[in-house]
Amino acid sequence: MVGSCGSCDSCADNLENYCPKMILSYSTIYSDGTVTYGGYSDHMVCDEHFVVRVPDNLPLDGAAPLLCAGITVYSPLRHYGLDQPGMHVGVVGLGGLGHVAVKFAKAMGVKVTVISTSSNKKKEAIEHLGADSFVVSRDQDQMQAAMATMDGIIDTVSAQHPLLPLLGLLKSQGKLILVGAPEKPLELPTFPLLIGRKIVGGSAIGGMKETQEMIEFAAKHDITADIEVIPMEYVNTAMERLAKADVRYRFVIDIGNTLKPTN
């Protein structure tokens, strides 16, 4: 995000990300009529309001994905009150969003359970990322054992998947927050919402004030994204690998050291 109208209710509430005239950092038209190129730019000019100060102790490469993936999970944890020490939060999917969701939630003092379709990432989730437990969503015994134990769930999955089993994991008045974006509508069963006073909500990135807050929180708790740094020349191969989910967990393009100067 590199711009917004500055005058609507969302902008007034420091929620520029929900402004109807919000300008994306990539592939949209900026206020001067030029196209935004995001991380593919060799240089850019931006309204200072949309610039984030990165603390000196936070490495730029590991911090870069936090400006999207980081704030995307940090904001709902804060907004929906899932940031209180001792709470139990589930994280569905252990990819670019999920792995930083685990890191932020643990830094907030929250008990974290990773929910995944297979056990392949169990060791990674617990030993490397610090999750407290791991549930395989296709294992009925594991899902049954975890029923009604979670205060909230951050669902990062962008593929089609059923919501009913996830709603079953929530305590009464629990919150299922969607941050993934499936191409097709998901089926929403209403009965579990009624009998448990449960909520299904959503969230998209965050406003500039909260993004700055997130970056400073990350610096304080030594949180960075797990990345693979690549040169610009590798970007097409990286896109092919991305389509196969062959990255742990974000590619970061080293623009400064790989762009060739032009005369």
| CATH number of the domain enclosing 126 | 3.40.50.720
Residue by residue, DSSP assigns 148-203 as T-EEEEEE---S---SHHHHHHEEEEEEEEE-S--SSPPP--SHHHHHHT-EEEE-
Return d(Cα 216, Cα 55) in angstroms, integer. Answer: 7
Domains in the chain: how many in total?
Answer: 3
56 within a domain of the structure (yes/no): no
Return d(Cα 231, Cα 233) in angstroms, integer. Answer: 5
Q: Which of 38, 6, 44 is nearest to 22 (CA)?
A: 6
For 240, residues 6+ apart whose C-beta sits below 8 A from its C-beta are none
Instruction: Judge if 43 and 99 occupy the same domain.
Output: no
Instruction: Judge if 41 and 154 occupy the same domain.
Output: no
151 within a domain of the structure (yes/no): yes
User: Do the Cβ atoms of 231 and 258 come closer than 8 Å?
Assistant: yes
Instruction: Judge if 46 and 71 occupy the same domain.
Output: no
Instruction: Judge if 119 and 71 occupy the same domain.
Output: yes
117 within a domain of the structure (yes/no): yes
Instruction: Judge if 92 and 154 occupy the same domain.
Output: yes
Instruction: Judge if 46 and 104 occupy the same domain.
Output: no
pLDDT digits over 72-129, tens only? 999 999 999 999 999 999 999 999 999 999 999 999 999 999 999 999 999 999 999 9
**Residue 263 clears pLDDT 60, i.e. is over it:** no
59 within a domain of the structure (yes/no): no
Instruction: Judge if 5 and 42 occupy the same domain.
Output: yes
Confirm whether pTM is higher than 0.85.
yes
pLDDT digits over 204-247, tens only? 999 999 999 999 999 999 999 999 999 989 999 999 999 998 99
Instruction: Judge if 33 and 98 occupy the same domain.
Output: no
Instruction: Judge if 186 and 123 occupy the same domain.
Output: yes
Give the residue numbers spanning the domain of 240.
Answer: 226-263
Instruction: Judge if 148 and 75 occupy the same domain.
Output: yes
Q: Which residue has the tokens 């909500």?
A: 201
State how far the alpha carbon of 245 is from the alpha carbons of 34, 126, 241, in Å. Answer: 32, 20, 6
Instruction: Judge if 72 and 186 occupy the same domain.
Output: yes
Instruction: Judge if 149 and 95 occupy the same domain.
Output: yes
